[in-house]
Amino acid sequence: MSSSNLNVGTRVYLKRKVDKPEVTRQGVDDAVKDIVETVRRDREKGARSYARRFDKWNKSILVSKEDIERAIQRVPYDVKKDIVFAHRQIESFARAQREALNGRYKYSFFFESLDALYVPFTHLTDTKTVTPGGVIAGSKVLPVNCAGCYVPGGRYAHIASALMTVTTAKAAGVPIVVASSPPKDEHGIHPAVVFALVTAGVDHILCIGGAQALASMAFGLFTGHRADVLVGPGNRFVVSAKRMLFGEVGIDMIAGPTEACVLADHTADPLVVATDLVSQAEHGPDSPCVLVTTSRELGEKVNSLIPKLIKRLPNRSLAAATVSWRDYGEIIVVNTRKECADVSDEIASEHLEVHCADLDWWHANLRNYGSLFLGEETCIAFGDKTSGPNHVLPTRKAARYSGGLNVAMFTKTVTYQRMSRNVCGKIAPFSARISRAEGMEGHARSSDVRMKKYFPTKRFDLETKMPELAARL
């Protein structure tokens, strides 16, 4: 049951979430394990069997060029323009991230034709240094060879998720991007999702959902390209599949239900705050939505407004938002903005809105969040769809140590080293002595054999300790 006027320390809860036992995932994990192992063993046959069973889909899993063209034709022109606008926003931000990793991304965009042309990286910055011992050591950032992007189905058409995942992968320079999404109807994937995937630069589209989709991309089914990284939101079956496949492939994160937290003071508009919380409750019946405020008056107004706003939602969203707010909604009143920031960092919400004076102070002092939305003009829904920064974000307090999907998740930093013969002669004795201190004689002899070959007149460790063996090197 929700609690009213409950005091916990300096906090007052005008509304508190319902205490519920933690949902066990054992049944889900067992089911997903069966799916993954069946697809691993039976390959495409196994994936198709689950597509028929769960998606009611008995047509081709790999979406053909002809089917893509037919889907795109079904998308209204105005919707195409909106998708293209959102793509440009997301792509621009992702390119800025990529440049921060010392790479370059070249692109050309043709707005009139609603098309995008991607040109591969022509240069990856090579970061070099020379160590005190004279070793030339370097690193460079390389994209993975193939990324698998999951776009959920369900009650909504997740256009934005298609853009967020594929666009970011392409901006990172990934040569092959495979996307998978369940069919909406007898025609296949929602046509606007297909258009979004094509606009973002996808290479292959699979019409399949759930754990079987993740396994198909991980094992390279239908395309011949095994995903090195799997990304994208999804239900608990998708999350379980990611967890199970991690190690064979990289993943973006283990995400839970969408979370939203709003920080507000006396300057905030209660209607705007309430509307934003309801917008996030719409995601699902288990989406936490929290208001932390220094103004009791504001908190009480928001608490009275939210049920009214939920009742005005269409049926598709009404049930989810009702349960979400009833079971997971909270309104917390604190005394100072410092307490407000502390509570926020404790919550570590996926999305964090700030409706307060002195936004610079909040920007400087808040630490734990997936994505921060500063000021009334900047709302979570914008970030969900079109602002630019990614909406695939950490949940369940993972924002304490992790950020959202970004180009770095599609790249790897590799290192190299090179030595001249003279530098080898400087390094080898140190390496030999440390190896012997560790008890790793084989390692030490890799140093010794080079000293014997390159500097035959010099004495080295093995010659001193085991001259007979050194003579045979």
Inter-residue contact 334 to 294 (CB < 8 Å): yes
350 is catalytic: yes
CA-CA distance, 431 to 281, in Å (whole number)?
59
Q: Which residues pair with 103 in a beta bridge?
A: 124
Inter-residue contact 334 to 293 (CB < 8 Å): yes
The answer to whether the Cα torsion of 240, 243, 248, 249 is positive or negative is: positive
Residue closest to 262 by CA, chosen among 340, 335, 190: 340
Residue 185: is it exposed, middle or buried by C-beta count within 10 angstroms (0-12/13-18/19+)? Answer: exposed
351 is catalytic: yes
Residue closest to 255 by CA, chosen among 367, 396, 153: 396
Query: Which residue is catalytic, options 259, 350, 353, 376?
Result: 350
**DSSP class of 224:** S
Question: What are the tokens at 433?
Answer: 């002595």
Inter-residue contact 268 to 376 (CB < 8 Å): yes
- Measured between alpha carbons, how far is residue 345 from residues 266, 336, 338, 348 in Å? 21, 14, 11, 5
Amino acid present at 57: W
Query: Which residue is catalytic, options 190, 204, 283, 351?
Result: 351
Residue 217: is it exposed, middle or buried by C-beta count within 10 angstroms (0-12/13-18/19+)? Answer: buried
CA-CA distance, 263 to 362, in Å (whole number)?
10
Inter-residue contact 318 to 235 (CB < 8 Å): no
The set of catalytic residues is 350-351
